[in-house]
Structure formats: structure tokens, C-alpha cells
Structure 1
Amino acid sequence: MLGRVLVLSASAGAGHLRAADAVEKAIRLRGAATDVQHLDVLRYTNQVFRHLYSKAYIDLVNKAPEVLGWLYDHFDVPGRNEKVRLAFDRLNTVPFINFLNKFQPDVAICTHFLPFEIISWLKSEKKVNILNAVVVTDLDVHAMWLCRYFEQYFVALEETKFHLLALGVPESKVTVSGIPIDPVFAEAKDSRAMRRKHGLDEDRFTILVSAGGFGVGPVEHIIEALSGLTRPAQVVVVCGRNEELRARLTGVVPRFTRTSGVEFQPLGFTTEMDELMAASDLFVGKPGGLTTSEALAKGMPMVVINPIPGQEERNSDHLLEEGIAIRCNNLPALAYKIDRLIDEAGKLHLMRSNALALGKPQAAFTILDRLDTLRTRPEAEPVATPNARKKTSRRLAY
């Protein structure tokens, strides 16, 4: 039993929240805690700080992704601006710290580096006695996730674990769990049955497009590019909560269907993404950490389109290396690339096998198992050594 648990996220992109939701759901399904709350830490900060973390991030993604990529690389150095960042974050998270003191959790599971950093600092000052764990929500680990006072990292890949070990994190403090996703993705579902349920042709090659990460204009270009497919196919386009996008696509797809023979089905927000993935042969979209993990759990080959510089680009690199994805940087070539995949059944099968091998649909429960072990057999309290503060070294000591 984990006692009182806080699952801590931040609404800076949907992935952190979805990972936290998955962990909370797993805790409730298993009855693993006496009390559990999922808290968006940014709700316990001031408005300016909240804007900086959430809206400013989204603005950079949509309007200046190259700036976001530069910032990602610039700050991916262990210890860079650590003291300044901590001082700034401490100043703006006083309401969150007050909440911690009031709730008195036994365990904190962080799916964003902000609460992880704050609890690490509180532990260093002996102000809290909380088992501090962090779930890295991308395939790679960025320096912003590095802290000194913690009990466990949960990461997606063996390579990510090796990276942390190279930085001086003890092996006992890193678990390759995978990124937590809704436990429903672990349920086996028949592809043809799911196609029938969602009004799809059982025998057509089915492509699932996750359109939420694109604007209205880019998605129209993707649909136009897919209309150039010469093989029989049907395309499900999930627009998420972007109702403007769904309405726009509903108006334009009949024209593309008439001219190409490719069937398009635009959808809005859905809670049945696992079923749509089970129904589909190929995923097209951006390689966000959570979406990627869901696709891997369902064994989906992927076509990565224009990943955001920084974390998505690194996620893309891993998927390409593992033989799970192909990348399309030029939309006019998209139909050509997918036609080739449809013709190469052996390659698609291998990509599917590679995805299943890397997928970890039980990640949330793996996290709970490890935390339960740490609660029953706690390790020694971490101590930051003087070597950890040397700015000239990229190796940290924990």
C-alpha cells in the first residue's frame, strides 16, 4: 500500500496530464493507496507563471518551433542555470508548497519536472519526508528532468536509463517502465470488430491520423496528400477538441473522396482511441511521448510528419532507429511513401512487431509495483555530493 499519494502534473502540453491520469487510474483500479489526488501544479501558481509554462509553450510550438528547438538544446546541459531556475520556481510555487504541507503525502509521482524539482529542494532542506518519483514523458530525458533528492526515475527506454546512469544516477534509482498510458490500451481488441463498430470497411487498409498537433491549414494539406493514394484505403482523422478543425474537414473531405476514392472520416474528441488504433493499420501524426506510447502498445507502424524540434524530434529518432516509423518531411511524397508500405506487407509486419516489442502497455502498473517495493524496503536517503555542483562536468552525483 502506497499510503497517501499525490500524482503531480503540469498543463504544459496534454501529455503530462494524460500520463498522470493513467497513473491515477491504475492506482484506483488496484486500490493501491489510502488516498490519491491528481494535481495540476500550475493551478497553484500565479497567472504570469502559469502563462509562461503553458500558453507560452503552446505559442512556441505553433508559431516558432525553431525557437523551441534552440531552447531545448540550449538548456539540455546538466546544471545549467540550475540555481536561478530553482529560485524562480520556488518564488512562484508557494501555494503548491502550502498544499503539500497540508496534504502530507507519503508518495509523490511527478509527470512533469516542475513539481519534481520543488519536492527535491524541500527534501534537501529536510522540510518534507516524501518518496519523490518522476515519470519522464518522452522517450529521451532532458536535463530539465534532473534533480538531486529523489527515490526513482521511471523512463521509457533502456537507452534512456543508460543516459541517466552515465550522469551518475545509481542503477537502483532508474526503472524502465515505459510511459504510463490508460490501462485500456493493454486490452486486446479484434481489428475487424473495431472497424465494424466504428463504421469502417472491414477489408480496407486503414490509416489513423492524429490531427490534434496540427493547425487547420496543415491538416487540410495532409488530407489532400493522402487523397493521392493509389491503393484502396480509408482514413480516420481524429481532431480532438478542435471543433473548428473537425467542422472544416467535414466540409472538404467529400471533395477529396470524389476525386480519389480514398474514404475519409473526420472525428472530434474521442475516448475510444484504443479502439481506433486497434482498427487501424498505420498511424500518421506527430510523435508526442504519450501518443507514441499508445501506438507502440497497439503495435502500430508510424509515419512521422514534421516533428517539433526538441523532444518530438528525439522521439522520432528513436522510432526510426527501432524500425517502427518512417518520416515524411515533404507532404507531396506522403501518398507515395504509404503506397510503398501497403505494397511491402513484410516491412509493415516487421514494423508492427518492432512496435509491440518496444511497447509497454502495463507501464502504470510497473510503476506502482516498483513504488510499493520502495515503500516496503526503503533505500538510504539520497545525498548530493560536492562533485554534483561542479559546473565544468556533465556528470552528476546522486
Structure 2
Amino acid sequence: MKPYILICTEEWAGSGHQMAALSLQQAFQDKAPEANVRVVGGLETVSPILRSLSRIVYYNSLRYTPALWQRIYDNGNSLALILQKPLAVSLSKRLYDKLIRTGPDVVIATHAYCLSALAEAKRKLAKPFRLGCVVTDFHVNRFWVHPAVDFYLVAHEQVADQLVAQFHIDPEKICSFGIPIRPAFMTARLRPNRDWRKQLGLNPDRFTVLLTGGEGKCSNFEPVLARLLRFQTPLQIIAITGKNARLLAQLQKTMEKSRSAVGHAVRILGFEEAIWEWMGAADVIVTKPGGLTCSEALAMGKPLILYQPLPGQEKKNSAFLRACGVAEEAQSIEQIASILGGWQAERERWQSVAERTAKLGRADSAYQAAEEILTKIM
């Protein structure tokens, strides 16, 4: 009997949760082609109205009341109680009727919102499925934790240690394989950046900066690009805006208006499926510290400049990556320019950071997770 794996995600709170789910789906299909692997949006399936409301509240909190969101995140118990009690009970019946009744062998959550509701639905079954969660940041909060969870997939051993020390999770339930990223990164990371630049029609010898991670409503890389265009030493700049059409138009307008771009080579792109190619071409990646984007950059061995981390998980991600010596945080555009100038002038220092980054990267994270889970159900 072929295994049935259900991956529950949320796309409204940033694309990283969905990309982790799709990465796992691909790894499962590569490792066990006979398996039925389905990716679904939790709130999109059971309550589109609540999905829209949650998106509005989340992004407005980040934009207009960041200090409040930081307090909510730091005090995860209050949010966990909401997710584990009233919301879990109200959503679990609809989850059961629309998703769980079909009898999955494993259910994996890549976002915490519906985790407790899935646990409640699991409780109703005579033959419960195995419930897992993928923590998509370099830090874990209380709302990721539930006694019904059978296994946790986490970004690093330090996150595993936190689960054990702070939440008393059995170490046997924790796998420190890294945040799941697409298997293509396993081979992409082996090619030198000069090869990627030649393939993409870029100057193979020019110091190359990639701006990415601009999909969220709170991202604004337009002034960053404007400042880099005034950089004294010629740069090769790649800006990728994903599905953020507004940001793409802004960057294109900045290029049209700029009179100081002489000597710089600039490529402005929207959504790029094969993001590993452009990461491979870069010397440095300037981004928001989302867990998925940073995991991809680590897999490619690229030093990071983390620009204006948002409250909550981004602040925690930035602190972790800086402590590992693979990233610098910039609160201002001038700080970005200063860090870039230092790395460009002192290539030995940049090389040292790049080597630490490559060691920290987990390009095979999705495959390792898929293999571990499949051994438990096949």
C-alpha cells in the first residue's frame, strides 16, 4: 500500500513556509515515487475568510505596531494558548472533514497556525497519523510545540537544544537536518560563481551583489539599489523581486532615473524559479532574514547582509546567523555600503565568512528529512 503524506502549509505569512512544503514534496517524490504526497494551504482550505483576516492582522502588526508584535512573539505562551484552544477546536472539525478523513499516514505542518487543529483532528482517529512540524526559522517559539507532535524538523542543533531545554521535548523526536530547501541546491552549490556568471551572461570577474527577499509588504529595497548605484567601485548588481510587481516597477524606475549608474552592471528580475543560479553567481546576498531564503544562501555558501530585520522571527534569525559568523546586520543603507566596501577591499575577510557559510549550509535538508520520515512509515 503506497504511503499518503499530507503537508499542511500557509502561504499568506511569507513564501518560505510554502517553499519548505514544496521542497519536502519534491524530496518525497524523488525518494518514493509511489507515494501520494499532497501540499495544501490550511486556512485556504478550511477558512478563506480567516486566512484573509490573519494576513491583514499579521502584516499590519509588522508595519504599524512592530514593538507589539515583538512582545507577542517573545511571550509565545499567549499566542500558543489561542492556537491550541479556541482556534484548534473550531478549525479541527473542518480540517478533519476536508483533509484528515482521507486517511493520511503522515501529516506535516510547515506553519504553526493549524498545528494544534491538526493535533485535535488526530485525537479523533482510531488509527492516528504521525504528526510532524517543520520549524522554518533558526529559533523555535512556544506555538510550534504540542504534545501530539511525533517529530520536529529543525534548522540546527541549537534549535534542537532549545526544544529540549525550554520545552522538554524528547531528543529522539527531533531531527536537525536544516530547513527543507529544494534538492537542486545540492548540485548547484558545487559550481563556482564564475561559471554561474558566464551561464547567466554576467561579467565573470565583477564583484556581484544579489538583492532578494523582497516579496513581503514590509520589504523596500528601492533605496538600497539607489545607494549601490552610487558606489564608487563598480559593482555587478542583481535584484530579484519575486512576485512583488510593485517593487519590480519601483526598481526599474530607479534605474531609469539614476545618473550615477555608470560603470555598474545591473540586472532587475521578477520571479525566478531557479533562484539557485542567481545565488550561485553572487559574492554577497543582501536580504531580509527569512528562514528559507537564508537557508538557501547558506547552502550556496554566500555571506549575508541582513537588512532591517522585522520583529519576531527575523530578529531571532539575524541574531543566530551573526553569532555563527556568516552574516552582518544593517539597519541603514549606509551600513550596507560600509559592509560591502569592507568585504570588497579585504577579500580574505570575505573569503573567511564564505567558508563558514558553506560549512553551516544544509543543501540536502529535504532529502534527509524525507528519508527519515519514510523509514518510519514504509
**Same-fold call, TM > 0.5?**
yes
Task: Report the more deviating stretch, 163-172 or 183-192.
Answer: 183-192
For 1:370 and 1:85, the matched residues in 2 are separated by 27
- 52-61 or 309-318, which deviates more: 52-61
Percent of aligned positions with the same letter in both sequences? 27
* Distance in 1 of aligned mates of 2:290 and 2:261: 32
State the aligned residue count: 374
SS of residue matched to 2:220: helix
Partner AA of 1:341 in structure 2 = W
Listed as ranges, the matches of 1:243-322 within 5 Å are: 243-256=245-258, 258-259=260-261, 261-322=263-324
Code of the aligned partner of 1:7: I
Residue 119 of structure 2 corresponds to 120
Partner of 2:25: 24
Q: What is the CA deviation profile of residues 261-315 of structure 1, one whole-angstrom value per residue up to 9, with x for unaligned ones?
A: 3322211111121000000000001010100000000001000110011100100
- What is the aligned counterpart of 2:369 among 363, 367, 370? 367
**Is the partner of 1:140 in helix, strand or coil?**
coil
**3-state SS of 1:55 partner:** helix
Pairing 1:38-187 to 2, within 5 Å after superposition: 38-74=39-75, 76-77=76-77, 82=81, 85-126=84-125, 128-166=127-165, 167-187=167-187
Question: 1:255: how far off?
Answer: 4.3
Instruction: Give, in whole Å, the separation in 2 of the partners of 1:369 and 1:101.
Output: 23
Does structure 1 conserve the Cα–Cα contact (< 8 Å) formed by 2:7 and 2:38?
A: yes
Matched to 1:18, the amino acid is M
Amino acid at match of 2:273: T
Does residue 355 (structure 1) correspond to residue 354 (structure 2)? The answer is: no
State the alpha-carbon separation in 2 of the partners of residues 303 and 367 from structure 1. Answer: 28
How far off is 1:120 after superposition?
A: 2.0
Shift of 1:237: 0.5
Moved over 6 A (4+): none
Structure 1: gaps of 5 or more residues: 377-398
Q: Which runs of 5+ in 2 are unaligned?
A: none
Q: Determine the C-alpha separation between the residues in 2 that align with 1:71 and 1:261.
A: 46
Alpha carbons 2:229, 2:260 under 8 Å: kept: no
CA contact (8 A) 2:215 2:243 kept: no
C-alpha separation in 1, matches of 2:127 and 2:217: 43
Q: Name the residue aligned to 1:6.
A: 6
SS at match of 2:58: helix
Inter-CA distance 33–169: structure 2 relative to 1 (3 Å threshold): farther
Aligned to 1:385: none
User: Does the 8 Å CA contact 2:62/2:218 hold for their aligned counterparts?
Assistant: no
8 Å contact kept, 1:26–1:183: yes
How far apart are residue 248 of structure 1 and its match? 2.7
- After superposition, the CA RMSD in angstroms is 2.2
Distance verdict in 2 for CA 1:333–1:116, change over 3 Å: closer
For residues 63 and 345 of structure 1, what CA distance do their matches in structure 2 show? 40
TM-score normalised per structure 1 = 0.87
SS at match of 2:99: helix
- Tell me the CA shift for residue 80 of structure 1: 6.5
Indicate how the Cα distance of structure 1 residues 295 and 217 shifts in structure 2: closer, same or farther if over 3 A, else same: closer
Secondary structure in 1 matching 2:267: strand
Q: Deviations over 1:75-99 (max 9, x none)?
A: x23x776267422232135322212
Query: Aligned with 2:266: secondary structure?
Result: strand
